[in-house]
Chain A
Amino acid sequence: MASIGKILRRTFLIGSAAIVGGVAFGVYYVNRPAPNPLKPQEGETALNPFVLIDQEGVTLFAPRAEMGQGVMTTWAALIAEELDVELDDIRVLHGPAAAAYYNSAMLGEALPNKGYDISDFQHNLAEALGVLGKVLSLQVTGGSTSMKDGFERMREAGATARETLKQAAADQLGVDRGLLKTAKGAVIAPDGTTIPYTELAVAAGQIDPPHVELRDPSEWRILGKHHPRVDMVEKSTGTAEYAIDVRPEGLKFASVRINPKLGGEMNSFDASAAESMPGVEKIVDLGNGVAVIASNTWLAMQAVEAIEVDWGEAPYPPETDALFDVIAASFDGKANSAMRDDGDVSVMPEGATEITAAYKLPYLAHATMEPMNATALFTGKTLDIWAGNQAPTIIQSKAAEVANLDTEAVNVHTTYLGGGFGRKGEFDYTQIATKVAMAMPNVPVQTTWSREEDMRHDFYRPGAMARMRGAVKDGKAVLYDGQIAAQSAVYQAMGRIGVPSGGPDKVLVEGAFNQPYAIPNYRVRGYVTDLQVPVGFWRSVGNSFNGFFHDTFLDEMAHAAGRDPLEFRLELMKSEHAPSAGCLEAVREMSGWSGETPDGVGRGVGFCYSFGTPVAQVIEVVDEDGTIRINKAWIACDMGLALDPNTVEAQMVGGMIYGLSAAAYGEITFAEGEVEQYNFPDYDAIRMHTAPVTEVRVLETNRHMGGAGEPGTPPAMPALGNALFDLTGQRARTLPLSHSFDLLI
């Protein structure tokens, strides 16, 4: 076991490279050498390092996308902690696409353990599996992995840079490196001589980096505390640049319509009316859709709407009910997985009371605030793409296929993301922008989708169904047998990037099979539905439906057992996973949970362990003259180490509100093969007046570092449903809740 750890540590090698006027440091090496992104190719001046030090100061190229989660700031803090610079003095830029930025934590999540019971051996194995990320070149922001992924590597990069700069100073001053100190971006000699890093950068570029040890957390001065986010001033002044804001010289504006019968062909189109509309410069045939290039985005949108198109049929049953018939039928087939199978669920314990329930959840759109868009410039030999994205290496190779160029001829410029939530890990929008730009070589073209196009061409959170059977005896759960059916987002997404997939889909049952409850007879099976509706990764992925299925049914079991629903969960959890129990105890205390609520007030508890982080929530609803308002919420989470507690709090509140939006209002339905929702009036979300007053507690007892961006989402949906049950006595087994409850809109 230790040897695995040692091998892994050796895989985190730090490289340095001399650059014009300075030095660059990066972590780039895995089991077999990846091309060093620090070594520029002949004739290439652009570099892809983690940290670059020159006369201008310290620059961090963040290999993860800033989509609102604060990753730029916290990765900078990891560097600054070891490098001894002030956080304010680091400039943070998005790194270009580079295979060396593989996401090691994300593939580690693919291991078939429950997560919360992970042993040190499995933890090391998870890291080893992460090596696969390199092979697949997964530079992906997702799976709430950024901090787990960056925690070691960024600190090592900072520490190595510091010691290399000290060596440069030692050589210059003729003193031993061990006698030198560092602070505020400078090396300090015993006699008080102070040399700024900027003046040592050139010399440091000639030195092989020494081996370093990381500082003990007790010595940290930056990590674990809140620091103002580096992007906050830009985002408060309208100066932050999103993809939709890039303005290369000579930019043209385009808009697009793809077949709304998703995946269908385009039989023919007539653009004669569009051709003569104001500002129109070119009509582009995309094969499965059309685009218009114009002098203004709005003029392009008007013209593309004026094109008459004969669309081919969708490759799936055209109506919502028929889709769910197919999902339901998958229960009759062979189970894809039984990731948990404890005890024997085939035998009903004597004297136990059996209960059953069936649940159904809709397809969901991501609905990022920034509609899908990308800008491309095609010269015939090179392609530049500007995009807010969660996966630049995938975008690079997929755009290269479209443009018939070598991958290296494609430059991906990652901007801020106006929301991601999983949608911008896809590459459809960058391929479309590439095709549009190829119709007008040497001219940069920005292709912006209308909100309607965005809403109706998503890779949706799969619609899902569950059949639950359980038993309670003497106030305890003695049997839990869950079946879940849905399309596999993993199979589909892997298919799109050309990686074969198959076998048990852990993500399909995550949030159900891996929950920390000691139930003696406990089985969870997954059933993969074969449908061609485009599905993808939606904030918290499988947990987004399983969190609701699993926890709502536990609530039903608690009531069947005549128990307080919070105490019922807590009792099953205490012996299984203390950090999870700690979260439930925290929300019990914060909310003053008594199990009793006055007339007109309902409270529900929800819990889900996901991405290594247990999260418990209590939601309170109030009846105001027949209209129900979500009044208050209490959240407790435990991700082990919270590198920036203020950012974690923001993610917990935001994650919960994203979940409440879906629970209350979110639904994508189909008619004649087309999505029936067009814009926010059809797909509303929580707003200022419908958001609860929320209190968050961030606990730090978990042994392994968990994620922050997604775990707040899953428990919100059952907590709200459970609160409505407490208020009305009516059990919600489908979402959105606005169908069956008179919620404030």
Chain B
Amino acid sequence: MPISLTINGTAHEVDLPEDVPLLWVLRDEVGLTGTKFGCGVAACGACTVHIDGEAVRSCQVALSDVWGDVTTIEGVGTPDAMAKIQQAWVDHQVAQCGYCQSGQIMQAAALLAENPSPSDAEIDEAMQGNLCRCGTYPRIRAAIHTAAGKLKEA
């Protein structure tokens, strides 16, 4: 039985075993590769997406358990029409290898939706599940503060 999903506003019918994690549905079935595989055990945050606006580790959500609309990095903005948070990432030249940054941006976007002016301590709390082996943390922090400011202006 195919399972229906709404991803970035588009409906998809997915015919896969129901225990396949959302991460692998997105990457190998739907073809949305912006969401990354890093650990498979919710320890790195590279696979972070939103379900009904909440940041979740897509490697831990089975296909049959997806409880709402899914938003991935591709649904946040595009190279020609970046979201403010993505523009902040570019302005601060955050990425090095860049592999973890989709997850970082999704986590930060959920934080800002909930808390428009996070303090450094609140950023620490929200972002500590997202690993970056290149060590871009100082620039991620700066980009979150910048994005918070831009979002308030809007």
Query: Which A residues lie at the B interface, using CB under 8 A?
Result: 67-70, 228-229, 231-242, 244-245, 247, 253, 278-279, 295-299, 301, 367-371, 416-421, 448, 450-451, 646, 650-651, 653-658, 661, 679-681, 685-691, 693-694
A237-B73, A691-B137 given; 13 more Cβ-contact pairs under 8 Å:
A232-B90, A236-B86, A238-B102, A241-B33, A296-B24, A369-B132, A419-B134, A451-B40, A650-B136, A654-B96, A679-B40, A681-B43, A694-B138
Q: A69-B96, A229-B93 are in contact. Are A234 and B44 (CB under 8 A)?
A: no
Residue B141 interfacial (CB < 8 Å): yes
- The verdict on B34 contacting chain A, using a C-beta distance below 8 Å, is yes
CB neighbours (8 Å) of B72 from chain A are: 238
Closest to B72 in A: A238
Known: A68-B98, A296-B16, A296-B29. A687 touches B41 (CB 8 A): no
CB pairs A–B below 8 angstroms (7 shown): A68-B95, A238-B73, A247-B31, A368-B99, A369-B38, A451-B38, A689-B128
Interface hits, B49-68 → A, CB 8 Å: none
CA distance A297 to B20 in the complex (A): 10
CB pair A244 B133 closer than 8 Å: no
**Docked complex: B13-43 residues within 8 A CB-CB of A:** 16-17, 20-21, 23-24, 27-29, 31, 33-41, 43
Separation in Å of the A252 CB from the closest CB of chain B?
10
- Kindly report which residue of chain A lies nearest to residue B96, judged by CB atoms: A68
In the complex, B78 has a CB within 8 A of chain A: yes
Known: A451-B41, A656-B135, A687-B137. A297 touches B79 (CB 8 A): no
Q: Are A369 and B100 in contact (CB under 8 A)?
A: yes
B residues in contact with A231, CB < 8 Å: 95, 98
Complex Cα gap A239–B75 (Å): 11
Closest to B97 in A: A68
List of A residues within 8 angstroms of B82 by Cβ: 233, 236-237
A297: which B residues are within 8 A, CB to CB?
24, 27-28, 37
Q: Knowing A658-B133, A688-B124 touch, does A238 contact B20 (C-beta < 8 A)?
A: no
Query: Are A235 and B27 closer than 8 Å at their CB atoms?
Result: no
Counting CB contacts under 8 A, is B46 at the interface? yes
Chain B residue at smallest Cβ distance from A687: B128
Q: What residue of chain A has the Cβ atom nearest to residue B89's Cβ?
A: A236
Bound-state CA distance A324–B140 (Å) is: 40
In contact, B35 and A688 (Cβ under 8 angstroms): no
With contact pairs A237-B82, A654-B135 given, residues A681 and B41 touching in the complex (Cβ less than 8 Å):
yes
| The one of A298, A369, A655 that contacts B46, using a Cβ cutoff of 8 Å | A369
Asked if B112 is at the interface (CB within 8 A of a chain A CB), the reply is no
Tell me the complex Cα distance, A238–B58, Å: 15
Residues of A contacting B129 in the complex (Cβ-Cβ under 8 angstroms): 687
Contacts of A235 in B (CB 8 A): 95, 98, 101
Complex CA distance for A729 and B138, rounded to whole angstroms: 30
Q: Is the interface of B mostly helix, strand, loop or mixed?
A: loop
By a CB distance below 8 angstroms, the chain B residues around A654 are 96, 134-136
For A451, what are the chain B residues with a Cβ–Cβ distance below 8 Å? 38-41
Q: Could you say which of A241, A301, A419, A689 contacts B133, with CB atoms under 8 Å apart?
A: A419
B131 contacts A687, C-beta separation under 8 Å: yes
The answer to whether A646 and B93 have CB atoms under 8 Å apart is: yes
The 7 A-B pairs of least Cβ separation, nearest first, read A238-B34, A657-B135, A235-B98, A418-B99, A68-B97, A68-B96, A238-B73
How many Å from the CB of B59 to the closest CB on chain A?
Answer: 9
Q: Which residues of chain A come closer than 8 Å to B16, judged between CB atoms?
A: 279, 296
Give complex CA distance A253, B31 in Å.
13
B37 A680 Cβ-Cβ under 8 A: no
Contact in complex: A685, B133 (CB < 8 Å) = yes
Complex-state Cα separation, A418 to B38, whole angstroms: 10
Asked whether, in the complex, the Cβ of B134 is within 8 Å of the Cβ of A239, the reply is: no
Chain A residues closer than 8 Å to B76, beta-carbon distance: 237
The answer on a CB contact under 8 Å between B44 and A296 is: no
* Complex CA–CA separation, A241 to B97 (angstroms): 11
Q: Could you list which residues of chain B lie within 8 angstroms of chain A, going by C-beta atoms? A: 16-17, 20-21, 23-24, 27-29, 31, 33-41, 43-44, 46, 72-74, 76-79, 82, 86, 89-90, 93-102, 105, 123-125, 127-141
Shortest C-beta distance, A663 to chain B (Å), equals 13
Nearest CB to that of A448 among chain B residues?
Answer: B37
A657 with B137: CB separation less than 8 A: yes
The CA-CA distance from A244 to B100 in the complex, in Å, is 13
Within 8 Å by CB of B34, from A68, A228, A237, A653, lies: A237
Residues of B within 8 A of A247 (CB): 31, 33
* Alpha-carbon separation in the docked complex, A278 to B18 (Å): 11
B94: which A residues are within 8 A, CB to CB?
232, 236
Q: Is the CB of A236 within 8 A of B135?
A: no
CA distance A680 to B57 in the complex (A): 15
Q: Enumerate chain B residues within 8 angstroms of A657, measured Cβ to Cβ.
A: 134-135, 137
On chain B, the residues within 8 Å of A240 by CB distance are 98
Partner of B90, one of A70, A233, A242, A681: A233
The one of A278, A369, A646 that contacts B97, using a Cβ cutoff of 8 Å: A369
Q: Which residue of B lies closest to A70 (CB)?
A: B96
CA distance A655 to B136 in the complex (A): 10
Contact partner, B127, options A241, A278, A299, A688, Cβ 8 Å: A688
Q: How far is the CB of B27 from chain A (nearest CB, A)?
A: 7
Q: A733: shortest Cβ distance to chain B, in Å?
A: 25
Residue of A nearest to B136 (CB): A654
Q: Is the CB of A369 within 8 A of B99?
A: yes
**Chain B: which residue is nearest A450 at the CB level?**
B40
Contact A236 B95 (CB under 8 A): yes
Q: Is the CB of A296 within 8 A of B28?
A: yes
Are B125 and A650 interface neighbours, CB within 8 A?
Answer: no
Q: How far is the CA of A241 from the CA of B31 in the complex (A)?
A: 12
With both chains docked as a complex, state the minimum distance between the C-beta of B74 and any C-beta of chain A, in angstroms. 5
Evaluate contact between A688 and B141: CB separation under 8 angstroms.
yes
B20 CB to closest chain A CB (Å) equals 6
A679 in contact with B96 given A419-B134, A653-B138 (CB within 8 Å): no
**A238-B95 contact in complex given A247-B31, A650-B136, C-beta closer than 8 Å:** no
Complex: chain A residue closest to B101, CB-CB: A235
**Across the interface, which residues of A come within 8 angstroms of B97, CB to CB?**
67-68, 368-370, 416-420
B126 to chain A, nearest CB (A): 8
